[in-house]
Every structure is written in structure tokens, then in C-alpha cells.
Amino acid sequence: MPDTLTKEEVNSQTDPSLSKQYDNETPKDQQIKELYDLVDSKKIGLLSTFRNGVGPVARSMAVAKRVGPDFLFLANLHSNKFKDIKENPVVQVTFQDSSTQDWVSVAGKVVTSANDDPRIKELWSHGVKAWFGDLGDGKHDGSADDPRMALIEVKTNYISYWLHQVGTLGFIKEVGLAAATGKVANTGVSRELKEADVEKARREA
């Protein structure tokens, strides 16, 4: 049910849509498990690099593998994202489910490696070729040995995410009732995993 806005929340300049859904009761182990369930069901995310003179630049990327709280992507070494990463080795990865409104935001540092990284052969699949093309020279062929084939490893240091607690009809009812009564909609839980939480998840992966 919608929650009442309090004078204290206004005076303290608190965002009630966040504070009323902020989850500090669910154990972190459960929060991490539910995070993994959420991101593993989303094979595509937005990888945002930070470009000097421009700001964040996002592009759709398929996750090659999740390793605990960290993410691996296969990418073309000739793409501008590698220039961005060289200058600013921090990125954001986001996921969203438009049907439930669930979302995840991951911040982390980046390590890149060229096609001599043995993990590339483990992660490569035939479908990857479609994004590289085949020059016909026996070298630039979109294979795991293609010199353009590179790995982006996002070493996560902070995660925030929102997980729905009501279905579609419940969401509509909750928002409508909140708008009509002056209360604040409460449709899910907002969670954050800070650096210590992420490191613990990495050790236990």
C-alpha cells in the first residue's frame, strides 16, 4: 500500500520514493542471490564508457559471462569504447526489464586484454562472427583468433538495483492510488551493494 509522506522527509530533503523502498532488512547474501537471478535473466545490458569532452557513452552489449559480481564482454578492439577505457578505465553497466520495471546499475573498473587471453576461446561462439565480419585473409575472420577480438572485464565496486514486489496490475493500482491520495507509491525494494559487500560476493563466487 502507498505510504504517507511525512514532514520530516521534506525537511530533511529525503527522496521518499527511495527511502520508503530502501531495503536494509534482507540479508546481503539473499540480496546478492536475487541480484544474480535478475542479471542472469538479462543477456543484454548497456555498457557505458566515459568519453573526454562528451561524458557517458552507452551501447548495447551481450554479456559473455558473469563471474560472481564481475562481468565479461567480447568486443572489437578497434571500437571507440577501447579508446574511452584507455583514458577513463571506469564504466557503468545497466540492465532493465520493461515488463517488471526491475533494473540494475553496476559501477566498476575495467581491465582489457587482447586475443591472447585464453578466456576468449572459452567465451567465443559462432554467433560472435556476425558482429566482426570476415575479410577473407584467414586472419580477420571473426574467430577467437582474430586480432581484433578482445575482452572487457568489469571489476565491480558498487551495485544498486530495484526489484519489483507487485505484479503489473498491482503496480498500476499502487501508482494510481498513490497519485489520488497524495501518498507515495511503494511497489518494490531498492537495494545497494557497497564495495565491502561486492568483495565478499567475489570471494564467495
State pLDDT tens for residues 128-140.
Answer: 999 999 999 999 9
Whether 159 has a pLDDT exceeding 90, the answer reads yes
- Beta carbons within 10 angstroms of residue 127's beta carbon: 9
On whether residue 200 sits in a domain, the answer given is yes
Q: Which residues 6+ apart lie within 8 Å of 83 measured at CB?
A: none
Instruction: Tell me what the pLDDT averaged over the chain comes to.
Output: 90
Taking residues 139-155, report their average pLDDT. Answer: 97
- Contact status, residue 145 vs residue 77, Cβ threshold 8 Å: no
How far is 198 from 205, CA to CA, in rounded Å?
A: 10
**Given this model, what pLDDT does residue 167 score?**
63
On whether residue 147 sits in a domain, the answer given is yes
Q: Which of 4-13, 61-70, 148-157 has the lowest mean pLDDT?
A: 4-13
**Given this model, what pLDDT does residue 11 score?**
64
- Higher-pLDDT residue of 170, 38: 38
On whether residue 53 sits in a domain, the answer given is yes
On whether residue 21 sits in a domain, the answer given is no
On whether residue 18 sits in a domain, the answer given is no
On whether residue 9 sits in a domain, the answer given is no
What predicted TM-score, i.e. pTM, was given to this entire model?
Answer: 0.89
pLDDT digits (tens, 9 = 90+) for 58-113: 999 999 999 999 999 999 999 999 999 999 999 999 999 988 999 999 999 999 99
Whether 189 has a pLDDT exceeding 80, the answer reads yes
**Given this model, what pLDDT does residue 14 score?**
72
Res. 144 pLDDT band, cuts 50 70 90: very high
On whether residue 185 sits in a domain, the answer given is no
In the chain, what percentage of residues exceed pLDDT 70?
Answer: 88
**Given this model, what pLDDT does residue 184 score?**
55
CA distances from 98 to 83, 95, 168, 172 (A): 31, 10, 11, 14
User: What is the identity of the amino acid at 157?
Assistant: N
How far is 41 from 63, CA to CA, in rounded Å?
A: 11
On whether residue 124 sits in a domain, the answer given is yes
**Where residue 97 sits, what CATH number does that domain have?**
2.30.110.10
**Given this model, what pLDDT does residue 13 score?**
75
Q: Which of 23, 38, 160 is nearest to 99 (CA)?
A: 38
**Given this model, what pLDDT does residue 182 score?**
66
Domain count, the chain: 1
- Print the domain residue range for 102: 27-162+196-204
